[in-house]
Structure 1
Amino acid sequence: MRKKWTTLLFPLLFVLVFSVIAACANTPSEPVEENPSAGKEPASPSEPANQQPEENPDNNGSDKTSAENDTVDNPDNDPLDEQPVSEPAGPANPSLKFTYPDAVRGIYVTGNSAGGSRFDTLVQLVKSSDLNAMVIDIKDDWGNVTYIPEGTPYVDAGKPLIKDPESVLKTLSENNIYPIARIVVFKDTVLAKKRPDLSYISSNGALWTNGRGEAFVNPFLKEVWDYNIGIAKEAAKLGFQEIQFDYVRFPEGFERRDESLTYSLGSYENQTPTRFVKLEAEYKEKMEAYQKQFAQLSQKRDKAKAIYDEAVSQLNAAKANNQSNTEDANVHNNTPSGNQSAETESNKDQNELEAIEQKIKEAKVAWDKTEEDLKNLEKSKPKEPNFSNKERLVQLRVDAVTDFVAYAKRELEPLGVKVSVDIFGYTATLPAGAPGIGQDFVRISDQVDVISSMIYPSHWTSYFGIAKPDKEPYRLVQEYAKVEKEKLSQLSDPPISRPWIQDFTASWLGQGNYISYGKREVEAQIRALNEAGIKEFLIWNAGNNYTENVDYTPLQP
């Protein structure tokens, strides 16, 4: 009997042990939370691209990411070859209910915070104040998707920072917090290392990275567009109501290094930039007007000269005739009556000469005036635009970035989500934006539902007549709002303005160049926006340590 039980028991034990081992092997280990990325871009190109990260009690102090250890895989098996497919509108979970707030007042939330213990604290902050939205990292500054998107082409880029994104969205829905998915687009070290052909190659044959070891992917390539839009579609399926694209640009200072890098222009290889087409049409129109005016003035000049020449000829003829008459009078008119007649004729001739001389004088004035007008007109002759190949490449960058935004809007529209873009604040202050990195404030704004300028006072150099902007947050925001208002007024259907403002202390600026930011400084920025008619804003703090007891609606009683 014992032998029979032994015979039956051993197989059962074997199956049980094998099942436990298999289950353990398929369970991902709990990730150690990382130091949140400082991530946000500056409002001035001369400033560092990332603010200093704040201390995060939920992490172990590591700033390493999986991107730094990735190797290049076989591109033949790359998920980028699979084109994303538009999904039906609405969230995957029909139980999620969101409404657009009276005005979005939001905070930035890292993947670490959204997936860690800090999330509950941040939810409580929003619930207990006039805040009502969260911008959550779904694709971070290194290119990691902050959750594991199982069953999608993007699973290899996934990192389990947010273990249960559905639960996060459910919590936001239950607390009426508007969810925005932040997707860092063209700064993507993960994808660049995996697919160097989608990035930039240095002259030494290595993948190009900036001074912080970050790589960018190429905005000229539609394959890169589709990759990011595919991730955005997955976020929309989770229930996010808005997709916020960040780093929608070429690397800082690209115009100074592009000639030393190898990269593809994709479908833009033989394309004429949109700005060239516009400039050429404007130049043609101006030249036609110039040539018409030049012809009119030339005709007027020629007429004045002809009158002058004719009058001079008349004067010469009159003088010759008078001389002849005088000689005849001297010979034939020696009587008193003859002398009187000659004197009368002489006076008549003199009057005729004076009339002709006056005509000459007037014709000369008219002639000189038209000559002067022609010279002045020639000074204002339209200059042919710069159509050099270098300028062509610069303007193609603007086209590529703008075209991506327009394409993303079209692709995401069936999913019922809004599209917003983060942009350098200083691009609104320049006539043509920042073409070197591909950002044109007006053109990008024309393609989105929401434009979010990054206007942290600490990230501006001396601007708007403010020597140390970090020390004057109200004035800096006030002056910026005036410029942005003028730029957006150029659009027939402008987007919502929702700037990023500062809730951190920029001590790296050095003594005397910064102030400690707290309740008063955050409220000053909000007040400046509200007084300018800008009701929406987002607050940035890299470590998600937000100031307590802030009045987020300072103009409301």
Structure 2
Amino acid sequence: MHRAGNTENPMDFRAERRILTSRTWKTSKLPVRGIYVSGWVAGSKSRLERLIRLLDTTDLNAMVIDVKNDYGQITYRSSIPAVKAIGADRNYAISNIGALIQKLKAKNIYVIGRIVTFKDPLYAKHHPAMALQNQSGGVWRDGQGKAWLDPFQQQVRSYNRAIGEEAAAVGFDEVQFDYVRFPDNGEKVDREVTFSSRQGRSKSEIISTFLRDARKGIHENGARVSADVFGLVTSSADDMGIGQSWRSVSSVVDVISPMTYPSHYSTGMYGVKNPDLSPYAIIHHAMTDANRRNHVMKENSRTAVAGIRPWLQSFTAGWVHPHQHYGYEQIRKQIQAAKDAGVQEFMLWSSNCKYEYRS
């Protein structure tokens, strides 16, 4: 992996990327280093070109592109009947997904499709019985007024699994499930919500079941499977009330991606007074814990474990006090912390898809 400040010819980066897009991911040792790209940016020629130029001139080699976004919308025209039935692809942002993927692969860019899984207000609107239900009646909504789907419902799991399989079939190298969990503040949710068809299963068991079942069809279509988890999952002893435990997820996917944004950690976590001001300390501790978890799993149960590829902060959390601007130096510190903890891969998150990055 090229280190920050490396002045090698950018053509070398493009040569490296051929390994990633040749579908030899099972044996490739080249680290994935990606950025998030919304469906709207991916569908904008000018904005996409700017991001391609960023990858051409740095050691970045991957894009994470929305397949199903936070509103439940599919970003390209789908052939899935259940998608068509609710018009989830009616306002698609990407006019030709095949051409887009072909263009990126011609640039030797590893292409990851992001699916916002169980937070899906659109599907819940058309199928309210599939949403989490208030104990007092009606569809439950989170603090932002958004409805969530009930992962215990087979129909819900099948819908998202079909979207993942289609994403693999159209050419994504990897399918990434985000919001593959129950809503946060789990104890409060448990007091308010009635779950359906639990059949004695825990939250973490049903999340693991979904990912394991989805993996089969996605693998058959030639792609890897990854899952995003809360940053604290690296260190928590339980599923945090959201159905995500390190063991239950890492054992059933190819890549696990904790969202280790320093701004999202509470004061005093890991002994750090102001986490947003200490990106190196937060990432190093989280990645050390993540590696330790995988090591214990392999040693104690001989279980296959996922590769670790964290989401790193590439945005300024102005709502946090105190906070700092997250530019190149703050990104570099996070990347170095992950490396020093033995983690070579990373992805950068910026909701507006603007990145202050160089290599």
TM-score range, shorter chain: 0.7 to 0.9
Deviation at residue 491 of structure 1 after TM alignment: 2.2
Equivalent residue in structure 2 for 1:262, among 190, 194, 203: 194
Q: Secondary structure at the match of 1:248?
A: coil
Matched, 1:472 2:278: yes
Structure having the higher helix fraction is 1
State the partner residue of 1:236.
168
Identify which of 429, 440, 450 aligns with 2:255.
450
Instruction: Give percent identity, aligned residues only.
Output: 37
Find the aligned partners of 1:109 and 1:446 in 2 and give their Cα distance. 27
1:133 corresponds to which residue?
62
- Matched residue, 1:109: 37
Give CA-to-partner distance per residue, 1:402-428, whole Å, 9 cap, x none. 111111112322112111000011122
The CA deviation at 1:251 is 0.8
- The Cα shift of 1:440 comes to 1.0
Residue in structure 2 matched with residue 157 of structure 1 by the alignment: 88
Deviations 1:64-121 (A, max 9, x none): xxxxxxxxxxxxxxxxxxxxxxxxxxxxxxxx85564611000000000000131111
Alpha-carbon distance, 1:431 to partner: 1.6
8 Å Cα contact 1:110/1:136 also seen in 2: yes
SS of the residue corresponding to residue 411 of structure 1 reads helix
Cα shift at 1:478: 1.1
Deviation at 1:247, TM superposition (A): 0.6
Matches within 5 A, 1:203-282: 203=135, 205-264=137-196, 266=197, 268-269=198-199, 271=200, 273=201
Preserved CA contact (<8 Å) 1:98 1:177: no
Distance between the aligned counterparts of 1:494 and 1:257, measured in 2?
30
The yes-or-no answer on 1:500 pairing with 2:306 is no
Which residue pairs with 1:411 in the alignment? 217
Q: Which residue of 1 aligns with 2:237?
A: 431
SS at match of 2:270: coil
Code of the aligned partner of 2:96:
D
- TM (norm. structure 1) is 0.57
Query: Shift in Å at residue 256 of structure 1?
Result: 1.6
Say which of 108, 114, 122 aligns to 2:51.
Answer: 122
Give a deviation string over 1:261-315, Cα, whole Å, max 9, x none. Answer: 3341x2x33x3x5xxxxxxxxxxxxxxxxxxxxxxxxxxxxxxxxxxxxxxxxxx
CA distance in 2, matches of 1:157, 1:122: 27
- What is the one-letter code of the residue matched to 1:518? G
State how many pairs are aligned.
Answer: 326
Q: Residues 183 and 412 (structure 1 numbering): CA distance in 2 closer, same or farther, change over 3 Å?
A: same
User: In 2, are the aligned partners of 1:99 and 1:178 still within 8 Å (CA)?
Assistant: no
1:520 aligns with 2:329: yes
Alignment match, 1:200 = 132
Q: State the shift of 1:432 in Å.
A: 2.0
> How far apart in 1 are the matches of 2:80 and 2:262?
43
User: CA separation in 1, counterparts of 2:35 and 2:170?
Assistant: 20
Which blocks of at least 5 consecutive residues in structure 2 are unaligned? 1-20, 299-303
CA deviations on 1:329-378 (whole Å, 9 max, x unpaired) are: xxxxxxxxxxxxxxxxxxxxxxxxxxxxxxxxxxxxxxxxxxxxxxxxxx
The 8 Å contact of residues 313 and 349 in structure 2, kept in 1 or not, is answered as yes
Structure 2 Cα separation of the partners of residues 398 and 105 of structure 1: 28
The Cα offsets for residues 205-226 of structure 1, whole Å up to 9 and x where unpaired, read as 3322112121110111121111
Change (3 A) 1:248 1:481: same
Could you say which residue in structure 2 is the equivalent of 1:147? Answer: 76
Question: Does residue 533 of the first structure (1) align with residue 338 of the second (2)?
Answer: no
Letter in 1 for 2:263: S
- Over the aligned positions, Cα root-mean-square deviation in angstroms equals 1.6
String of CA shifts for 1:210-247, please: whole Å, max 9, x gaps: 12121110111121111001011111111001110011
Note the C-alpha offset of 1:503.
0.8
CA contact (8 A) 1:132 1:176 kept: yes
Q: Distance in 1 between matches of 2:33 and 2:224?
A: 16
Residues 41-80 of structure 1 show CA distances to partners (whole Å, capped at 9, x for unaligned) of xxxxxxxxxxxxxxxxxxxxxxxxxxxxxxxxxxxxxxxx
Q: Provide, for residues 105-158 of structure 1, a one-character-per-residue CA deviation record: whole Å limited to 9, x for no partner.
A: 000000000001311111111111100000000001111111121464322211
1:166–1:238: 8 Å Cα contact kept in structure 2?
A: yes
Shift of 1:252: 1.2
Of 171-180 and 206-215, the range deviating more from structure 2: 206-215
Bigger CA radius of gyration: 1
Compute the TM-score of the two structures, normalised by the length of structure 2. Answer: 0.87
1:479 Cα deviation after fit: 1.3
Counterpart Cα distance in 2 of 1:227 and 1:456: 30
1:509 and 2:315 matched: no
What's the counterpart of residue 294 of structure 2? Answer: 488
CA contact (8 A) 1:193 1:207 kept: no
Contact 2:207 2:243 in 1 (8 A): yes
